[in-house]
Chain A
Amino acid sequence: MAQYGVVVVVAVTLNFLLPRLMPGNPLALIAGVDVGMLTPDQRAEIVARVGLDAPLWQQYLRYWGDIFTGDFGFSFRSSRPIVDMIWERLPWTLLITGLSLLVSAVVGVLLGAISAWRRGTKGDLGMLSGMISIESLPSFWLGMVLVSLFAVQWGLLPSFGAVTPASDLEGWAHVWDIISHAILPVTALSIVGTPGVYMTMRYSMLETLGEDYIRTARAKGAGERRVLFGHVARNTIAPVITVLAIRLGFAFGGTVIIETVFSYPGLGRLVFEAVAGRDYPVMQAAFLVFTAAILVANLAADLLYPLIDPRSRTS
């Protein structure tokens, strides 16, 4: 637990320092493109108003204060409260990253298990090379192909966004609107997310299949099904759970590329724009959310592990 505390302090400090170590100046965001046309006095006034004139250590302490009060102030770019900005985007990000994580977990685990079970067969090798090819697909390209086929060419699904703008839809029509907008991004994310799970599952299972206790189980006459579920699956799933837990943590960070290709209003785009414009407060708050999500996911994996694998239980 103390380890987690240290990690939090280090992460928070980095979140504070990294944006400021980057070259570039947030003034243009605060005062607009015409900032160069202001008098030095006017400029100094603006810098003071957003607190950038304070010594670094004071800004750092203020950031810790923000963390404890949960008030991260206002974005330099949009002048909106940052907490609102994150809350508006987090659900959209979690909708597509969560769904695609689910899809790639189920598909990846199933195919990985089948592949390992039939190791060395044509089916296994075909699936393996298929997955390696898919993994090498750039996600922006995949996204653009999906848009040009399903939206531009066939007109089946919307090409952008999370909902139809200004449509005043309600009830089931609204739900369907959200689903239809999520299908393409979730598909793209699921496709690129599956090979990782598949590989982990396949290798983990291959390792298990080679263990002596599996041979023993077979030797004592246990049926295939009992070997698979009673012995192999239990011992295989632990590393997969770890991979998935960490991915769940990263899911909060959204996905810059897919959110950009589909103009999806998620956190990834928010952070990308904040980094591009040196929007320090937004970067600090968003990085904190990511840090927290990843730490919690790690913690979850740490806690789940002993339940799955008794060997890792401590006294």
Chain B
Amino acid sequence: MQRMKRFKWGVLLVVLALAVAACGDDAAEEPVATTAAETPATTAAPEPADDEPEPEPAEEEEEPASETTTTTAPPPPPPEPVTVRAAITGDEGTLNPYTYISGFPGWNILMLQYDSLMQLDAAGVPQPWLASSVSVSDDLTEWSVTLVEGVTFHDGEPLTSDDVAFSVEFYTTNPEASRFARDFRGVADVVVHDDYSVTFVLESANPGFDVVALADAPIIPRHIWESVDIPSEHDFGGTNIGSGPYILTEIAPDQSYRFAANPNYFRGAPAVDELVLIIFADDAGAQAAIRTGEVDVIFERIPPEQIDLLDAQDPLDVILGPEFATQMINYDASIRPFDDVAVRQAINLAMDRQDIVDTVYLGAATVGSPGWIHPGHSVYNPGIAVDVYDPAAANALLDGAGYADSDGDGVREYDGQPMSFEIITNASDSLRLRIAELTVEMLAAIGIKTEVLPVDTAVWENAVWPGFDVNNGRNYQIAMWGWSPPVQADPLRLPWLVHSSLDRGFLNLTGYGNAEMDELSEALAVEPDPAERKAILGRMQEIIAEDLPFVLLLYPDGAYVYDSSVYADWEFIAGQGIVSKLSLLPPSARP
């Protein structure tokens, strides 16, 4: 027993010693341990200023200025370096194309360090960026790009056609960066003509290649990435070599990222000299911090109820604009009773969209078009009525289709059972949960009984979109759902949502099918004439509004809060919001 006890003590002592050693280490090395690598010397930007409001470098530069006053007229005082501290919620990994985490704002922050061949302008239209010109063949299968000459990566190496071809090949052979692998799906070949001109040869016509791929995927340097084996696990030494306006200089996990401006940026040096991203655990923390002045802008949409509160506080301002995110009702249209178009139409008519916008979003959203496309979008079909709320018509429709309430309990029946369903939604999205609650009331008014089932996000995703593969079917009756802005921003993606063939309709989560819709989808993909494409999209919106593969409720508006005394030149890109390099570049460098 005695020996046993000694052994126990030994175990305990070793563990304690380890723990103490670990803590001791930490105390000694704190500043180093939480700091990633320094910027490589070759890429050194002007010394990043402290994040104090009155940075020292400005004072230092005053001296030489005063000396010159004796001989010449006083030059304008050098502009004080601007540091912007932005709040984000949630860690974004090491922020390279294989490790950034969220579609928003992760991709947007990624693109501060990298460039794409094209760049969306404020209206959301792609403009040449790394490209000086982009042209497409009549059959839409060959996209030719001429590059701006003299662009360099952060390490000084030139960016050429070779890097473009390499990026495409790398993304396609390493599909963990799913977004970029998808961008270049269908690229049969990339022909490099010379250092600055390159042609993408596509397997089939793709009229939206500029929006989907050219304005989306970051160009990565071959000389850095060609030796990379497992891209997501590769250690790049704490910074990312891109060609973008910002250089990552420091990562403190779960705490902050630090970026220095790239003074050699090919469109001109950024207006903001240092960008610090501060990671919050939730949006309440970020809102408290912008009120105390600890951050200068929030890189997330602020909830509707905060818009007026924050705007009222000086020097805070709120910028609003359209975004193409969606809130919608999905149902499994392949099962009874949702396979009956009358039921789907009745649900559509029962939804008081204006009431949801006013009650849940306090007005900070756009009432949804039943035809899916945002009324502010260039391909919106103005013939689609947006305000369709008519519960009486909905009731008449259900009565006419034979869904009677035979036992008088206020709930209609179908196939001998009550129309009583669960609405599954993710509990973490409180606005969506509130919409679900209003939906219950609105459906009750037409004799359909529903109950909200709030669950954890992964459970909800797995019910609506098992394994993220529509081939796995669906495990829900009614679900609250929403797509991120890119799905709608490019209207050519509409077939993804409604095509009955699951390899074309790989976002068709409602099991919907319609022969005319399939034909239109096929036609859309090969139509070279933009006006013709718009006409096809117009007809598709009509079918959606009539056939209702899903019920679109609203498009939340983007609302961002910033401290106007620190930096106020934010650019709102329609459908994308303010988090982009455009916001941080001087207006002269914006497209």
Give chain A's interface residues, CB within 8 Å of chain B. 1, 22-25, 27-40, 42-43, 45-46, 49, 74, 77-81, 85, 87-91, 94, 144, 147-148, 151-152, 155, 158-168, 170, 174, 178, 259-265, 269-270, 273, 276-278, 292, 296, 299-300, 302-303, 314-315
Contacts and interface: CB of A to CB of B under 8 A. Distances in A.
A29 B27 CA distance: 33
Interface residues of B, number: 81
18 contacts: A24-B456, A24-B461, A25-B468, A32-B179, A33-B484, A37-B496, A80-B253, A88-B33, A89-B254, A159-B285, A160-B278, A164-B51, A166-B51, A166-B85, A166-B274, A260-B281, A260-B282, A264-B281
A167 B50 contact: yes
Contact of A30 (B176, B252, B258, B496): B176
Contact of A23 (B91, B230, B459): B459
Interface in B237-264: 250, 252-256, 258
B8 A299 contact: yes
Nearest to B5: A303
Which among A168, A178, A278 has the highest number of chain B CB atoms within 10 Å? A168
Contacts of B193: none
Given A165-B276, A261-B285, A276-B456, A37 B175 contact: no
A32 B177 contact: yes
B278 A165 contact: yes
The 5 A-B pairs with the shortest beta carbon distances in the complex, nearest first, are A24-B458, A165-B256, A265-B254, A42-B175, A91-B26
Which among B99, B176, B459 has the highest number of chain A CB atoms within 10 Å? B176
Given A40-B469, A160-B294, A144 B284 contact: yes
Interface of B: 1, 4-5, 7-9, 11-12, 15, 22-23, 26-27, 30-31, 33-34, 48, 50-51, 85, 90-91, 93-94, 98-103, 175-179, 181-182, 185, 230, 232-233, 250, 252-256, 258, 274, 276, 278-282, 284-285, 288-289, 291-292, 294, 428, 456-459, 461-462, 465-471, 484, 496, 506-507
Contacts of A79: 93-94, 98-99, 232-233
A36 B507 contact: yes
A274 B49 CA distance: 35
Contacts of A166: 48, 51, 85, 250, 256, 258, 274, 276
Contact of B252 (A25, A165, A170, A261): A165
A185 to B, nearest CB: 12
B285 A168 contact: no
Contact of A270 (B8, B254, B255, B278): B254
Contacts of B457: 276
A28 B276 contact: no
Contacts of B8: 1, 299, 302-303
Contacts, number: 212
Contact of B281 (A30, A38, A49, A259): A259
B22 A90 contact: yes
B99 A78 contact: yes
Contacts of A37: 178-179, 182, 496, 506-507
Contacts of B278: 160-161, 165
Chain A residues touching B, majority SS: helix
Contacts of B100: 32
Which among A33, A94, A155, A300 has the highest number of chain B CB atoms within 10 Å? A33
B175 A152 contact: no
Nearest to B484: A33
B22 A91 contact: yes
Given A31-B177, A77-B93, A161-B278, 6 more contacts: A23-B458, A24-B458, A77-B91, A79-B93, A159-B288, A263-B279
B282 A87 contact: no
Contact of B175 (A31, A160, A261): A31
B11 A299 contact: yes
B560 to A, nearest CB: 19
A211 B103 CA distance: 66
A94 B91 CA distance: 21
A28 B289 contact: no
Contact of B94 (A30, A49, A80): A80
Contact of B471 (A40, A160, A314): A40
Given A36-B468, A78-B91, A94 B23 contact: yes
B176 A49 contact: yes
Given A23-B462, A24-B458, A152 B31 contact: no
A235 to B, nearest CB: 23
Contact of B1 (A27, A85, A152, A314): A314
A78 B255 contact: no
A302 B11 CA distance: 13
Contacts of A22: 458
A32 B175 CA distance: 11
A250 to B, nearest CB: 15
Contact of B15 (A31, A261, A296, A314): A296
Contacts of A1: 4, 7-8
Given A74-B233, A265-B253, A31 B176 contact: yes
B134 to A, nearest CB: 23
A24 B281 contact: no
A33 B103 contact: yes
Contact of B181 (A38, A151, A167, A277): A38
Given A77-B101, A78-B101, A24 B462 contact: yes
